[in-house]
Structure 1
Amino acid sequence: MTHDDIATQAAADFQAQFGRPADGVWSAPGRVNLIGEHTDYNEGFVLPFAIDRRTWAAVGLRDDNTARVTSTFSDDEAEVELATVGPDSLDGWSAYPLGIAWALGQNGVDLAEQRGFDAHISSDVPVGAGLSSSAAIEGAIVLALDERWQLGLDRPTLARVGQLAENEAVGAPTGIMDQSASLLGRRDSAVFLDCRSLRSEIVDLGFADAGLAIVIIDTKVSHSHATGGYAARRASCEAGAAALGVESLRDVGVADLDRAREVMDDETFRRVRHVVTENARVLATVRALRESGPLAIGEILDASHVSMRDDFEISVPQLDLAVVEAREAGAIGARMTGGGFGGAAIALTPIELVDQVTVRVSDAFERAGFTAPEIFTVTPSDGAKREF
């Protein structure tokens, strides 16, 4: 189905579920993080881009204070009263859309005075692949509610609302990168985000002009940011910042790493080293894209994966195999993307070698006895929008 077909189907499904037409259909994309992993909650730099895999939300206001949500990926229907909604009353997939309503309430919206809503959600963003299916849900819902409740919030504010929902309603201690990419993305470009100031710039990627494609290798090893590994890494970063007497690891440079080694244990040091050097790699990637183009960033992507594998220890054997085999098949650079402990790798690949990369990685997974990966290309795309 085309994206227009999916949007039309979402409206039809809403009619079937709720017995009335939707007010409209809104969509938001998943994202690929080109580089800058686990830097966002350390107030550092990230460089994600929105992708041509999206989530659609057909939404219609109600005449009472009730919110109901359904989806194509779950048989469960969730229902809450907006006046009393809170993190303790939310669980499962519905915590993402309903958590947005709660987070808007935390942003000054009087939920008791708002009309409730029905929402039906569909998506072609793979779940658990590290492509931020969660932020896509949040982006579509927050854009719809901002419009239908006539809130007039700007997109950086909507991104902060999405992050609050993910942190508190879902319980995943993520930074603001995913929501920012989903809401601020632009076709053929990446979002260069300073996670301290929340200032963003659009950086041209130039992949198509350079004859390059981004290949996604979904390992099918599902991950969850709400589980312990992600939270433990964040705690290590906070401990490292405290040991150095700084507000966050954003305040630590590569030149400070010798001192860092002296004041913390080896594991914490390696966590800190990843974040510090990853910030430097983001800046180097932006500079290379602007000065030399995308053919110049392959080695930086490779170095990022090594750092995540060895220092931050968030890779898994499937991701490591995907990266090695993609590079051997002709990708100019490859790395795992997303929070880690599963999910997907990306490979920046000459267009004429995409099939070669696909075959080689698939064969390697089969020989290793791993579940067959899903391999596809993505295109940098526009952010959240109203479809109709």
Structure 2
Amino acid sequence: MRDELQAVFGGTAGPDGIWSAPGRVNLIGEHTDYNGGLALPFAIDRRTSVAVRLRDDDRIRVATDFVDRGVVPGVIESTLETAHASTGWSRYVLGAAHVLRRELGVPGRGFEALVSSTVPVGVGVSSSAALESATIVALDELWGLGLDRREMVRLGQLVENEVVGAPTGTLDQSAVLLAQRDHAVLLDFRDGTAEQVPLGFEAAGLEILVIDSLVRHDHATGGYGERRRECEEAARIAGVPTLREIAVDDIERWAGRMPAHVHRRLKHIVTDTDRARRVADLVRAGRPREIGPVLTEGHASQRDDFEDSVPAIDAAVDAAVAAGALGARLTGGGFGGAAIALVDRAETARIATSTADAVEAAGHARPIVFTVHPSDGARRDA
């Protein structure tokens, strides 16, 4: 990216460094982050890279060679003072600069940033968290901030909530910033802990397929915010600070004491936290093949109780399981995006093709299917 940065922005100097951050797959535990629950995500081997060159003034210039969902190459100009007013894809870069300056009280320096990515957008694998996190780790070093990773998680969430306007929790940033190769991160959003959990997929001959439905979502304008408000209503009626405080055995106690759809949201959150705990226990015990049914159970909960799936995703889950996947489920915030399937490595190609064929035969767009592997979190690459 060194030559490319000079070609886009001019000058004779290359970047001061190149940093990257991965996308993520959430193995289990969906919408639990803002409900104080548990989740078990892992970083994937698709990354967003940011080559950055500092300036001697307050100007910020950003560009990308990544073309997706209407993103086209071209230089976007701003300043440190106006970065908060950014729109489109650049708000994840400019918003990161704005939040760092405001929260930490630092002047910062202007910069030029060239973005390149292999993380697909709108699929549910956290392309936004990858971009803002790569930018944060870059500016942390270039501005001499000395941030720890947990503080970066908090700042990344502020970019999403305040600059982008997406009412997300911290699951995505935690996975992207804290992950280690061959591990998932067991996140406890009530206690604020993050435990590295070895997955053992490679030793067990397992792969994770991502099945991109091509149905796109937007957390800033979609149903994500509505589901969050419904969860808050459930907690208010139950008289608890978050739905984490409700035990699985107490779910039915609240039936009839709140609107039926609100009770279904409560049921999903409580049971998905339990599923995250069960999956973590199984992989810790060296039994990763046994998590498949728990994943499929989680999808039924999202489809029926949280109601954030879509027909193309449901068709993909059904098709993958019918083709021999050990389990499958919607991953990410829902309302589109992707499903994941746990499969035997020797069966990966066959299950991928069979699933795509079946989804297409059911009248949906033919999904894009690819494998992902648990990988390292955000880092400096050069």
Give the TM-score normalised by the residue count of structure 1: 0.94
User: Residue 38 of structure 1 corresponds to which residue in structure 2?
Assistant: 31
Question: How far apart are residue 12 of structure 1 and its match?
Answer: 2.0
User: Residue 170 of structure 1 corresponds to which residue in structure 2?
Assistant: 164
Q: Does 1:29 align with 2:27?
A: no
User: Residue 104 of structure 1 corresponds to which residue in structure 2?
Assistant: 100
Match of 1:62 among 38, 55, 61: 55
Could you list the per-position Cα deviations for residues 61-105 of structure 1 after superposition, in whole angstroms to 9, with x for gaps in the alignment?
11011112111132343222213432xx12111111111111112
Q: What CA RMSD, in Å, does the superposition of the two structures yield over aligned residues?
A: 1.1
Equivalent positions of 1:1-388 (< 5 A) are 10-20=1-11, 21-73=14-66, 74-86=72-84, 89-110=85-106, 113-388=107-382
| Separation (CA, whole Å) in 2 of partners of 1:332 and 1:37 | 19
| Separation (CA, whole Å) in 1 of partners of 2:144 and 2:170 | 24
| Separation (CA, whole Å) in 2 of partners of 1:116 and 1:252 | 48
Question: How far apart are residue 275 of structure 1 and its match?
Answer: 0.3
Matched letter for residue 340 of structure 1: G
| Secondary structure of the structure 2 residue equivalent to 1:83 | coil
| Separation (CA, whole Å) in 1 of partners of 2:57 and 2:77 | 12
Could you list the per-position Cα deviations for residues 140-187 of structure 1 after superposition, in whole angstroms to 9, with x for gaps in the alignment?
100000000000000111111111101110011111011111111111
- Whether the 8 Å contact between 1:62 and 1:117 is mirrored in structure 2 is yes
User: Residue 3 of structure 1 corresponds to which residue in structure 2?
Assistant: none
**In the comparison of the two structures, how many residue pairs are matched?**
375
Matched letter for residue 190 of structure 2: R
Q: Percent identity?
A: 53
Give the TM-score normalised by the residue count of structure 2: 0.96
| Secondary structure of the structure 2 residue equivalent to 1:207 | coil
Structure 2, unmatched stretches of 5+, are: 67-71
| Secondary structure of the structure 1 residue equivalent to 2:223 | helix
| Separation (CA, whole Å) in 2 of partners of 1:140 and 1:47 | 21
Q: Which moved more, 1:288-297 or 1:268-277?
A: 288-297
| Secondary structure of the structure 2 residue equivalent to 1:311 | helix
- Whether the 8 Å contact between 2:315 and 2:362 is mirrored in structure 1 is no
Matched letter for residue 13 of structure 1: E
Q: Which moved more, 1:21-30 or 1:250-259?
A: 250-259
Structure 1, unmatched stretches of 5+, are: 1-9
Question: How far apart are residue 255 of structure 1 and its match?
Answer: 2.1
Could you list the per-position Cα deviations for residues 289-316 of structure 1 after superposition, in whole angstroms to 9, with x for gaps in the alignment?
1124201111110110000000000111
| Separation (CA, whole Å) in 1 of partners of 2:265 and 2:287 | 30
- Whether the 8 Å contact between 1:128 and 1:222 is mirrored in structure 2 is yes
| Separation (CA, whole Å) in 2 of partners of 1:22 and 1:292 | 44
